[in-house]
Amino acid sequence: MRNSVRGQVDAFIVMDVMEAARAAEAAGRHIIHMEVGQPSVGAPAGARAALAAALSSPLGYTVALGLPELRQGIAALYRRWYGVDLDPARVVVTAGSSGAFILAFSALFDAGDRVALGEPGYPSYRQILRAMSVQPVGMPTLAENRFQPVPADIPEGVRGVILASPGNPSGTMLGQAELAALARATAARGAALVSDEIYHGLSYGDRAVSALEVTDDVVVVNSFSKYFGMTGWRIGWMVVPPDMVRTVERLAQNLFICPSHASQVAALAALDCIDEAEANLAVYARNRAMMLDRLPAIGFDRIAPPDGAFYVYADVSHLTGDSRALAAEILDRAGVAVTPGLDFDPVRGGRTLRFSYARGSTDIAEGLDRLARFMATR
């Protein structure tokens, strides 16, 4: 059967690394997972208890935009975190942040449009756009700008700009002035702004700034996957301008019908589990400190210290020009799964690796020990 041209997107390399690690584990090896941005803690206890209680009643379709009480709870989160008074009608509950990007890109862009995104950056932006026959345009960012774009990086003639703060893979953040400048530059080019804020709540100094603090003319994407530890529940949300709500609602009705009712019940309860989420954040903070202390001594010393998320992005050009081969060697010889930078930067990523510290501290310490032994004998 003929396959479409637009369907020929690149592999999500970290998922291939996960599969290689799974195969090694199936063969009896013990693998330390530093490849995937997945908290090891799972959903908060309150979220699991709420779903268990709800199972005695039928779970079915909800309205396409999500449970009204969950949309209200998310709006309240914006008041608590950012002081933003957000109309719940602008909140759209989605099937993970991935569902939010599909809805946002479908609502904003037409086939042939050009959309700018920072490199290094989350690879699925590029592949979702390509699957929609939209052209991704990379904005190569610099280490001196902490791998975040600046207004001069935004090309002319683009219909959209995607920002991420904290970024993946870098973990670096944009301050309010920087974010405002990028929003103004995007508007000056007549382009739509999409702000990926999936790692908000996970910061180690100043809090992350939401794009909604500097402009209402933005689509903001977030998720319960990271701060709330609910990756497998596939539940996220987006905030859209008022004049986009009906367009997104019609798309959601037809593409997804609705998000999972069960996951929405759990997500609503998770909003009240802040103490548990903050305890997990303390673990990530310890892991981050361990990474920043030990990685340079091990030989991975070219890094931009992360402000948030749970990643360290390292320049390994002094070790290799083929990060995929180096990651495979580390998995084979050290039993540590790490992600090649090619996932995040198709041009320069052959010289970088991403290390995730989303696991428990015991695992991170063991992984660093293994990396030290690997580098000492390489």
The predicted-structure confidence for 146-155, as pLDDT tens digits, reads as follows 999 999 999 9
The pLDDT assigned to 142 comes to 93
Same domain, 33 and 90: no
The pLDDT assigned to 40 comes to 84
The pLDDT assigned to 305 comes to 86
Domain around 368: 13-42+275-377
Number of domains in the chain: 2
Same domain, 89 and 149: yes
3-class secondary structure, 93:
strand
Name every residue whose Cβ is closer than 8 Å to that of residue 307 and which is 6 or more positions away in sequence. 166, 171, 172, 173, 203, 204, 205, 206, 208
* Distance (Å, whole) CA 114 – CA 315: 29
pLDDT digits (tens, 9 = 90+) for 153-172: 999 999 999 999 999 999 99
Same domain, 227 and 281: no
Calculate mean pLDDT across residues 278-293: 97
Is it the case that residue 278 has pLDDT exceeding 90? yes
Same domain, 156 and 183: yes
Same domain, 123 and 263: yes
Q: Token digits for 19?
A: 């599969």
Same domain, 326 and 247: no
Calculate mean pLDDT across residues 289-293: 97
- Would 3 be classed as within a structural domain? no
Is it the case that residue 41 has pLDDT exceeding 90? no
The pLDDT assigned to 9 comes to 85
Check residue 203 and report its DSSP letter: B
Q: Which of 35-49, 93-107, 122-136 has the lowest mean pLDDT?
A: 35-49
Contact call for residues 126 and 342 (beta carbons, < 8 A): no
Calculate mean pLDDT across residues 73-102: 98
The pLDDT assigned to 12 comes to 87
The pLDDT assigned to 378 comes to 83
Same domain, 66 and 204: yes
Is it the case that residue 304 has pLDDT exceeding 90? no
Identify the domain boundary among 245, 272, 299.
272
- Would 7 be classed as within a structural domain? no
- Where are any strands of DSSP class E within 211-269? 219-223, 236-239
* Distance (Å, whole) CA 356 – CA 279: 18
- Would 268 be classed as within a structural domain? yes
Is it the case that residue 210 has pLDDT exceeding 90? yes
Check residue 309 and report its DSSP letter: T
Look up the pTM and report it: 0.95
Q: Token digits for 178?
A: 């920087």
- Would 251 be classed as within a structural domain? yes
Same domain, 51 and 123: yes
The pLDDT assigned to 275 comes to 96
Same domain, 57 and 99: yes
Q: Looking at residue 158, which CATH number applies to its domain? A: 3.40.640.10
Q: Which of 35-39, 68-72, 78-82, 201-205 has the lowest mean pLDDT?
A: 35-39
Is it the case that residue 13 has pLDDT exceeding 90? no
- Would 122 be classed as within a structural domain? yes
Rounded percentage of the chain residues whose pLDDT exceeds 70 = 100
Same domain, 64 and 24: no
* Distance (Å, whole) CA 370 – CA 373: 5
Partnered with residue 164 across adjacent β-strands are: 196
Q: Token digits for 139?
A: 């904005």
